[in-house]
Amino acid sequence: MIKKLRTPSEALAEMPSGATVMIGGFLGVGTPETLIEEMLRKDTKDLTLIGNDTGFPDRGIGRLIVAKRAKKVLASHVGTNPETGRQMHAGETEVVLVPQGTLAEQVRAGGAGLGGVLTPTGVGTIVEEGKQKITVNGREFLLEVALQADYALIKAHKADELGNLVYRRATRNFNPLMAMAAKTVVAEVEEIVPVGELDPDEIITPGLFVTYLVKRGRKDE
Amino acid sequence: MIKKLRTPSEALAEMPSGATVMIGGFLGVGTPETLIEEMLRKDTKDLTLIGNDTGFPDRGIGRLIVAKRAKKVLASHVGTNPETGRQMHAGETEVVLVPQGTLAEQVRAGGAGLGGVLTPTGVGTIVEEGKQKITVNGREFLLEVALQADYALIKAHKADELGNLVYRRATRNFNPLMAMAAKTVVAEVEEIVPVGELDPDEIITPGLFVTYLVKRGRKDE
Amino acid sequence: MSKDIARERIARRIAHELQDGMVVNLGIGLPTWVANFLPSGSEVLLQSENGFVGLGPAPLPGQEDPDVTNAGGQPVTIVPGGACFDSAMSFAIIRGGHVDVTVLGALEVDEEGNLANWMVPGKMVPGMGGAMDLTVGARRVIVAMEHTAKGKPKILKKCTLPLTARQQVDLIVTELAVIEVTPQGLVLKEIAPDTTVAEVVAQTEATLIINSIKIMEV
Amino acid sequence: MSKDIARERIARRIAHELQDGMVVNLGIGLPTWVANFLPSGSEVLLQSENGFVGLGPAPLPGQEDPDVTNAGGQPVTIVPGGACFDSAMSFAIIRGGHVDVTVLGALEVDEEGNLANWMVPGKMVPGMGGAMDLTVGARRVIVAMEHTAKGKPKILKKCTLPLTARQQVDLIVTELAVIEVTPQGLVLKEIAPDTTVAEVVAQTEATLIINSIKIMEV
């Protein structure tokens, strides 16, 4: 069997500065904190981060913002992390605010090989600026293009050794979508079980999307 | 609790002739045969049917084709039911062939409130005829518009009394997508369990999409 | 009137709009209070845009599950019959018209049913989160807000702040009044027992269409 | 050569192209045979576009599960570690480039790597099923087909039938030859031990670029 289990530093060893990185979670719930820990330890910078929000200064994606690792952020909400707003207003970090449902579809489209989707969300607001408007059956939609990334750092509850993933409760959020949309997908999990222990019907993310598995809380020696 | 369980004839009592009806299944696997039985019993006709394929003459959607209930069919494949091909060539039934992945996205888009999606599938083939081509990052895509229906007739393995659904193995296919895209959604299931028996993480189709439940094999008195 | 009394009144009134079987999404802040005023045994199904339906009350202290939070990040519970999903499904439910009612706060609403609640340029730019999708996607949009902010009207002829969505608001509920958005403009439907039509009109910049008026149940 | 021997040879040769860890989709008919020639213990992961990954061999008689079928409707099995999904996810996997190799049959292939395999106007119109998505989406497209049909070439200068996809084929494997599609045209890489370059050229309408040629392992 092709072994996917790695330490955090092995899993992220090849992540370059300037990379585009999707990070799962919703206000830190379902965010791979062990992988963020490792990113903080490394000197990777000038990142483009894509996530639902920028968490809190001490939790979730917010820690990378505070450490000034991002040159650009795409998120639906940054209100719970004042440092994001400060960097945005000071012109230190580019922040692109995207409606949450649009961001979800853009990431999904990136993973699904679609060029983009037509959404009614944002029509008649500043979100439509610079975007193509397309009328279908007399209704206006915005063309929102697909997003892809170099890395997706995701958090799941359980994995089997092939990387098949299941999520728990509200931690699922963007994780299964991001798992589809990046070249290298690193999944941080609570528990790894033998192949065959997960029922094929309960698996949310098939292992074929997952490059590496990292055990949550695992430290490099 | 709002009761969703119905007999087949109660569930389909208000389906008019001329309705657009999505029907789940893949070559009859995961097709709601009890509901098709009921449609055959009723005199509903001039239907627009949307499904992955037209099954076989004696199984799946094919039975409705043989009974000449469709004026139009959207499907990705009709090769296993010669009667569909005969009616198409004789001009008796309009058959629109759609790539399978495109059909899946069109139905999903209909359910998700999207106007459509951009797909690379079909570019440079006759599938592109009459469709808008849109270039994103230098690559050509076809704009495929959302599909919606009056009814979705789907098949699930188990439901709870609220209509939350789980599917088994290869029977899932188009069923969860169609459950999102129709005004009235009737789910035919093998088993109905009390509320709370399904784990929130294992539910594939939340009950909010489901109008009525019908027990598979249930006959009206 | 204290802020809390005003807010309780708004939430209590909006609870009357919600019926068994409806799928409802309550925004962060004041809208969340609405859940406290649903009758016991209510079968309103609450959707939480971070990824589940069947949002239940806050857990008892010590029984919090860190994996079960609402869209504001607070610990909540999932009722029996609840279901979890990813963000694409959550917004398929929202954008696809499968949410019957959304209740949202607002900075400004106007005569056309335009809503502004996500940014004050140069000052506060928290982001729209799920609000734009909710406003466009839900079948019915109810705005829950205090009638004025620091004495200045929030119900305007035309919104001045960047919009959340164009022409999507259906009903405005404040501590003073219940106002319906119609193609003809804003119709004053109910006023609170402790106010007058004249006072409501004075505190509203938008033109109010006034026919028959009921007294709001508070 | 009998049809079955020709087909076995094609399938056997294509099996060499598949390596452990690859996600592979095998079309209906001849391509399905490829699975029979994977070495025992192979960790090629087969995707079945009707909704799962981890396609296993046919079940023993009497052990068929009616809910577990392949894209052709035949009873199959799911190996340990397999996963089920809906059609949107199945084609997200396919269209999104997460399938490493697809093996498909063909009616015609041409010098540009165009493929026609889904209809003969006025005659046979079964529909494209998943073939258009597979051809566009898979990272590598291998055509598995007999070199000619009733003595007429199937590898053409330009396809005459309606295309399945434009410029997507990477490799053509027949009972006579292995041909690579390159930006310069079709390159003859291998010929079968019981044929000659002249015979392959004679049975091929397209121009073949010929440099070094290996003998096909059969």
Three-state helix/strand/coil letters over chain A: CCCCECCHHHHHCCCCCCCEEEECCECCECCCHHHHHHHHHCCCCCEEEECCECCECCECCHHHHHCCCEEEEEECECCCCHHHHHHHHCCCCEEEECCHHHHHHHHHHHHHCCCEEEECCCCCCHHHCCCCEEEECCEEEEEEECCCEEEEEEEEEEEECCCCEECCHHHCECHHHHCCCEEEEEEEEEEEECCCCCCCCCCCECHHHCCEEEECCCCCC
Whether B208 and C98 lie within 8 Å, measured CB to CB: yes
Residues of D within 8 A of A195 (CB-CB) are 80-81
The whole-angstrom distance between A142's CA and the closest CA on chain C is 13
Instruction: Tally C-beta pairs within 8 A across B and D.
Output: 143
Give the single-character DSSP code of C102.
Answer: E
- Identify which of B87, B120, B104 has the alpha carbon closest to the alpha carbon of residue B51: B104
pLDDT band at D123 (very low <50, low <70, confident <90, very high): confident
- The whole-number pLDDT of residue A221 equals 58
Q: Are C203 and C192 in contact (CB under 8 A)?
A: no
Q: Hey, of B107, B117, B147, B168, which one would you mutate to test binding to chain A, going by the most A CBs within 10 A of its CB?
A: B117
> Does D87 sit within 8 Å of B173, measured CB to CB?
yes
Nearest-angstrom CA–CA distance, C45 and C28: 17
Please answer yes or no on whether B195 and C80 come within 8 Å at the CB atom. Answer: yes
Mutate to test the interface with D, among B50, B105, B169 (most CBs of D within 10 A): B169
> CA-CA distance, C80 to B164, in Å (whole number)?
11
- Partners of B164 on chain C (C-beta within 8 Å) are 81, 83
- A112 contact D CB<8A: yes
* Mutation for B interface: C45, C99, C136, most B CBs within 10 A: C45
The mean predicted confidence, pLDDT, of chain D is 96
What pLDDT sits at residue B108? 98
Mean pLDDT along residues A103-123: 98
What's the mean pLDDT in D101-109?
A: 97
CA distance C84 to chain B (A): 5
Q: What pLDDT score does C122 carry? A: 83
Contact yes or no for C81 and B195 at CB 8 A: yes
Across chain C, mean pLDDT equals 96
Q: Kindly tell me if the per-residue pLDDT of D93 is higher than 90.
A: yes
Q: How far is CA A203 from CA A162, A163, A200, B204, D174, in A?
A: 12, 10, 6, 11, 38
Distance from CA of D18 to the nearest CA of B (A): 24
Q: Which two tokens stand for residue B50?
A: 């949307």
Whether the predicted pLDDT of C20 surpasses 60 = yes
Option in C23, C82, C92 nearest B200 (CB): C82
Q: Do C51 and A204 touch (CB under 8 A)?
A: no
D50 and B121 in contact by Cβ < 8 A? no
Question: CA-CA distance, D160 to A87, in Å (whole number)?
Answer: 60
Residue reference for tokens 């439509």: A128
Q: Verify whether residue D175 is a known catalytic residue.
A: no
Which pLDDT band holds residue B189 (cuts at 50, 70, 90)?
Answer: very high
Opening angle at CA C130, ends D93 and C161, nearest 5? 135
The verdict on a CB contact (< 8 Å) between C126 and A177 is: no
Q: Which residues of B touch A146 (CB under 8 A)?
A: 136
* CA dihedral angle for residue A93, residue A99, residue A101, residue A102, rounded to 10 degrees: -80
Indicate yes or no: CB of A201 within 8 angstroms of CB of D54. no
Residue C41, pLDDT > 60, answer yes
- C131-172 residue pLDDT tens: 999 999 999 999 999 999 999 999 999 999 999 999 999 999
ipTM: 0.98
Q: Average pLDDT in the A13-31 region?
A: 98
Report chain B's mean pLDDT, rounded to a whole number. 97
Helix H or strand E encompassing D109: strand D108-110
Judged against a pLDDT cut of 80, whether residue A220 lies above it is answered with: no
Q: Mind telling me how many Å the CA of B200 is from chain A's nearest CA?
A: 7
pLDDT at C125: 87
Q: Distance from first CA to last CA of chain D, Å, rounded?
A: 13
Mean pLDDT (whole number) for D198-209: 98
Nearest residue, CB atoms, B114 vs list A118, A145, A200: A118
Contact call for C78 and A169, based on CB within 8 A: yes
Interface test with B, best of C89, C133, C136, C168 (most B CBs within 10 A): C89
- pLDDT reported for residue C202: 98
Nearest residue of chain A to residue B136 (CA atoms): A115
Q: Is the pLDDT of residue B145 over 90?
A: yes
Q: What is the CA radius of gyration of chain C?
A: 17
Residue B221 has pLDDT above 60, yes or no: no
D133-170 pLDDT, tens digit per residue, is 999 999 999 999 999 999 999 999 999 999 999 999 99
pLDDT above 90 (res C126): yes
Residue C86 makes CB contacts below 8 A (sequence gap 6+) with A104, A167, A172, A173, A174, A175, A176, A177, A204, C51
Q: Which residues of A touch D53 (CB under 8 A)?
A: 206, 208
- Which residues of chain B lie closer than 8 angstroms to D90, CB-CB? 101, 104, 173
Chain A hits for C130, CB-CB cut-off 8 Å, are 76, 99-101
Given a contact cutoff of 8 angstroms between Cβ atoms, the answer to whether A90 and D73 are in contact is no
What six digits make up the tokens of B57? 């003459």
Partners of D81 on chain A (C-beta within 8 Å) are 160-162, 164, 195-196, 207
Structure tokens at A25: 């979670």
Nearest to B112 among C52, C54, C95 (CB): C95
pLDDT in tens, A161-172: 999 999 999 999
Instruction: State the sign of the Cα–Cα–Cα–Cα dihedral D53, D54, D55, D58.
Output: negative
Determine which one of C17, C49, C112, C175 is catalytic.
Answer: C49
Count of positions (residues) in chain B: 221
- Inter-chain CB proximity B206 and C85 less than 8 Å: yes
The percentage of residues in chain B with a pLDDT greater than 70, rounded to a whole number, is 99
CB-CB under 8 Å, A105 with B201: no
| List of chain C residues whose C-beta atoms are within 8 Å of the C-beta of residue B180 | 92, 96, 98
- Give the β-pairing of D115-116 and D108-110: antiparallel
Contacts A–B by Cβ distance under 8 A:
76
